[in-house]
Amino acid sequence: MAWDFETDPEFQKKLDWIEEFMETEVEPLSHLGMAAYGPGGREKFIKPLQQKVKDQGLWACHLGPELGGQGYGQLKLALMNEKLGRNSLAPSVFGCQAPDTGNAEIIAHYGSDEQKEQWLWPLLNGDIRSAFSMSEPTGGSDPLTFKTTARLEGDEWVINGEKWFSTGARWSTILIVYAITDPDEKDPYRRTSMFIVPTKTPGVEILRNVGVGANDGSEGYVRYNNVRVPYGALLGPRGQAFIIAQTRLGGGRVHHAMRTVGACAKALDLMCQRAVSRSTRDGKLADFQMVQAQIADSWIQLEQFRLLVMRTAWLIDKHKDYNKVRKDIAAIKVAMPTVYHDIAAKALHIHGALGVSNEMPFMGMVTSSFVMGIADGPTEVHKVTVAKQILKDYTPSNELFPAYHLPRQREAAQERYATELKELKADWEKRKETADASA
């Protein structure tokens, strides 16, 4: 067995370039806020950076060469995303921003030639944006509670219903919509289908854009009121929305975790910088054991989480099958919000009043940690998945006392080593007799 925690030298050069590019180009631009995204801003600021990334061969690296990417495995993507996770603008610059990455992936896997031609290439090139319109106000992300329907009338689908937290809907050109097409299907997981719906289709109404915390609203509350789309708007086979969604969400959960490693590392960096810089009447913050304990706890949490993420990425590369790594993906999804929250909260606290202000990033980080516990399935659901995946490898024992009952194990050991025990007893009695005789 070989273990190696080093990165090959050629790829390390790519990582070094990313780190410098992030520091000198991406992070300064991120402080312009919406000016970088507004009219003319995207062309003036973001597009040039995207071209630099493409020139380095680092654009949309999660995609295969046939789609303009590098086809990097998950382990390399993890190392990349660790650096990109330090700044929220970075995924857009590197062509791997959510929800476009996941939407492009399922169109690439399940889309018709016409759908790929019309939507996939503009999406991959960053020319258009998309939204994943799945969750609903009544049942959240549980597909068995969905009410939105798509009824076939002639050669058109008529979609009715409401969707909640369709991220980026306000900027989208297309919406990937999850709707019930076969309500009477015996298998409840085969009742729903997916559709590609242009956002400007009559009947699509963005009721409002909900903000997370104090941020501007980007989570679309969308109503579909007799929205008519052609039969060819169906994405993938009819009744296969659940399977398609799992394909999409599996990779998304891993990439969220990868970027969260970077966000946690940034929070820890700022915490340490504050600790060695800020003085009180009795010395620097870094001199106090309570501060040292918070820094130590944060570093340990981060390293444990990072190794779990990297191991999960390695397993995906090994098996080439998300289902075989289902437990591990669920585990990093469970760990992610806790680690992110704990480190960000400690960094916030060490910065005092400045830390809770909108002049530092920590309040946004703490809020994001709660989002991570909800997005792509709540933590509780993933804990159940982890437990079920672990328990399936065990078989029940219905005897009065279990096989690991200590008296039973002692009896088995005595039976196994009966000859040796008999010899030891005889030897002990002989030595005792000798000792008594010489006394």
Of 333, 376, 334, the C-alpha closest to 132 is: 376
Q: pLDDT for 374-411, tens place per residue?
A: 988 899 999 999 999 999 999 988 889 998 999 999 99
pLDDT confidence of residue 438 = 82
Q: pLDDT for 88-114, tens place per residue?
A: 999 999 999 888 988 998 998 899 999
- CA gap 301, 340 in Å, rounded: 9
Radius of gyration of the chain (CA): 28
pLDDT confidence of residue 101 = 86
Verify cis geometry, omega within 30 degrees of 0, for the bond prior to 99. Answer: yes
Could you tell me the CA-to-CA distances from 299 to 2, 260, 269, 286 in Å, in that order?
Answer: 26, 14, 10, 14
Q: Give 197's DSSP letter.
A: E
Partner residues linked to 280 by β-bridges? 283
Partner residues linked to 331 by β-bridges? none
- CA gap 13, 370 in Å, rounded: 35
3-state secondary structure 147-211: CCEEEEECCEEEEEEEEEEEECHHHCCEEEEEEECCCCCCCHHHCEEEEEEECCCCCEEEEEEEC
Greatest C-alpha distance within the chain: 109
pLDDT per 10-residue tile (average), the chain, 439 residues: 82 97 95 81 91 94 84 92 95 91 90 95 89 91 92 97 94 96 96 98 96 82 98 97 85 89 98 96 94 98 97 94 91 97 98 96 96 91 96 90 93 95 93 85
- CA gap 21, 111 in Å, rounded: 34
pLDDT confidence of residue 103 = 92
- CA gap 126, 96 in Å, rounded: 9
Cα first-last separation, the chain: 58
Q: The tokens of 204 are what?
A: 């699509």
pLDDT confidence of residue 125 = 83
User: CB–CB of 89/30 below 8 Å?
Assistant: yes
Q: Output the DSSP codes for 251-283.
A: HHHHHHHHHHHHHHHHHHHHHHHHHHH-EETTE
pLDDT confidence of residue 1 = 58
pLDDT confidence of residue 41 = 84
Phi, psi of 130 (to 5 degrees): -140, 170
Q: pLDDT for 173-222, tens place per residue?
A: 999 999 999 999 999 999 999 999 999 999 999 999 998 876 778 899 99
pLDDT confidence of residue 124 = 86
Could you tell me the CA-to-CA distances from 206 to 5, 186, 439 in Å, in that order?
Answer: 48, 33, 100
Helix (H, G, I), strand (E, B) or coil at 182: coil
